[in-house]
Amino acid sequence: MLFTIRHHTHYHYSHPVRLSPQRLRFHPRSDGAQRVINHQLNITPTPEGRNDHLELEGNHVTQVWFEGETDHLSIDVTMQVETLRRNAFDFILTPEATVLPILHEHDVCAQAYLDRIEINDAVTAFAAELSLAVNRDTLSFLDHLNRQLFSEFKHMHRDTGAPQSPAQTLQTRSGACRDMAVLFVDCCRAEGIAARFASGYQKGDLQSERRHLHAWPEVYLPGGGWRGFDPTHGKPVSDSHVTIAAAAHSRDTMPVTGSFIGGGVTSKFDFSLNIQVSED
């Protein structure tokens, strides 16, 4: 699929402020699942300086800094991205990865993706019950977990705010896409599957008047690499998602990270997002 995405982000401040250096994550990842055809990033006020680099986890970051004061920060992004993976299961698991838990004892890099978000007995028991129900089969567990979070939990939108804890989402059986992603990640880690949080765009309902950034989990499967599952839609991720950032912790996928200096100042956030998709 070919995605054309226009994303506008705007912060308005009640009085002029000094902006700290800002870290922006709006550039899609490039890997076997997608390729970036073009990407344009425009920022006002014009930054005094800018650098682009890859973070430790492979996400593209634009760091900008400013001189003087401003009463706004606007970020306009236009991109074209081709998604390439039509078959979500175009891989063969290594034999040791077919049954849970997956052993990562010789893979030091996996540890950050195995550390529990929180140690909660209810979440641990929930994951263990799902695992036992499918005889610890890895792919069946992932499918069962994905479908259960889709069909048995209430899904809602929250434009701002950090994800809920896994325990809260499990207890209330409700949450936004990022809440479902965090619960999915923690369940996978409880069963020995390396997992991370991903953020980006999803094809969704193209006729919807209000589009949103989307979040979903990814798991590391020996033989298949990083693979996404989307509990908001109950399906594995193939070519209908564009990944911007993925990390062991959701905070490291935030599109804008930074602060401002100014006493008694309030800020207002707004955004618009347009997604067009060609399936040719």
Helix/strand/coil for 218: strand
Distance in angstroms (rounded) separating the CA atoms of residues 127 and 129 = 5
Split into its structural domains, the chain has a count of 2
Asked, for residue 89, whether it belongs to a domain, the answer is no
Distance in angstroms (rounded) separating the CA atoms of residues 86 and 83 = 8
Shared domain check, 78 and 105:
no
Number of H-type helices and E-type strands within the chain: 4, 16
What integer pLDDT is reported at residue 209 of this predicted model?
59
Residue 85 has pLDDT above 90, yes or no: yes
Q: Which of 71-75, 155-159, 241-245 has the lowest mean pLDDT?
A: 155-159
Asked, for residue 248, whether it belongs to a domain, the answer is no
Mean pLDDT of 77-87: 98
Mean pLDDT of 124-128: 98
Shared domain check, 230 and 196:
yes
Shared domain check, 231 and 99:
yes
Shared domain check, 144 and 229:
yes
Shared domain check, 209 and 105:
yes
Asked, for residue 249, whether it belongs to a domain, the answer is no
Distance in angstroms (rounded) separating the CA atoms of residues 181 and 145 = 11
Shared domain check, 171 and 263:
no
Asked, for residue 185, whether it belongs to a domain, the answer is yes
Which CATH number is 46's domain given?
A: 2.60.40.2250
**Could you tell me which residues are beta bridge partners of residue 270?**
10
Helix/strand/coil for 98: coil
Asked, for residue 246, whether it belongs to a domain, the answer is no
Instruction: pLDDT band for 238, please (50, 70, 90 cuts).
Output: very high
Domain of residue 113 covers 95-238
Integer CA distances (angstroms), 131 to 54, 61, 142, 183, 193, in order: 36, 37, 9, 15, 12
Shared domain check, 137 and 54:
no
Residues comprising the chain, all counted:
280
pLDDT in tens, 24-72: 999 999 999 999 999 999 999 999 999 999 999 999 999 999 999 999 9
Shared domain check, 17 and 120:
no
Instruction: pLDDT band for 19, please (50, 70, 90 cuts).
Output: very high
